[in-house]
Amino acid sequence: MEAGTAPRTRCLLDVNTFTENFKNLLSTRKTYLCHEVEILDGDAWVSLDEKKGFVHNKGADQPGQPSHAELYFLDRIRSWNLDRGLHYRLTCFISWTPCHSCAQELATFLRENSHVSLHIFASRIHSLPNYEAGLRTLQAAGAQIAIMTSTEFEHCWETFVDHQGRPFQPWDRLEAVSQNLREKLQAILSPRPQQN
């Protein structure tokens, strides 16, 4: 390979950070959000590798203003100045579903940017106040929301983790916990009967 032609390296999660934050059996206070962007080219989606990456929340114990990972992600998207004449698909792999406030912010972004679609795969479901209404609002704005399965965990491992050639090793009960969470999410997102 000639000098200067090496691919630009991306920052990757270390193995322990990924496992501690995405393992669906554990409960952690941090939220990590891994993201990738594709652009529609004819009938095919083409990955924009330079837009792959991750963000995480900043707590009150860290310098600067505390912020949720989803808000950092929205700031990052806005900084890209995506061409309104093109169509983009954003895919997020997040350790927790968005809270009510972040879901509202994401929904507002989607309503204001019809050239962008959003797919969210979450490892766990938040249980903060009003989280269910927030997820329904986000879905109504066009976001597709699902629970991560071994397929998405392995994709994250291959795409966002500095695994040093080691294959993804699913943990015990990964699929059972994912199935339980999928059923819970489906119940949250299902249409509600109208109250009289």
* Catalytic residue (choose from 2, 36, 50, 70): 70
pLDDT tens sequence across 125-151 = 988 778 999 999 999 999 999 999 999
Cβ proximity of 52 and 10 under 8 Å? yes
Alpha helices in the chain (DSSP H): 15-22, 69-80, 100-112, 131-140, 150-160, 174-189
Q: 15-58+65-189 sits in which CATH class?
A: alpha beta
Going by the DSSP 8-state scheme, the letter that residue 62 receives in this structure is S
pLDDT tens sequence across 70-89 = 999 999 999 999 999 999 99
- 20 catalytically annotated: no
Q: Is the dihedral of CA 144, 147, 152, 157 positive or negative?
A: positive
pTM of the model: 0.89
Confidence of residue 41 (pLDDT cuts 50, 70, 90): very high
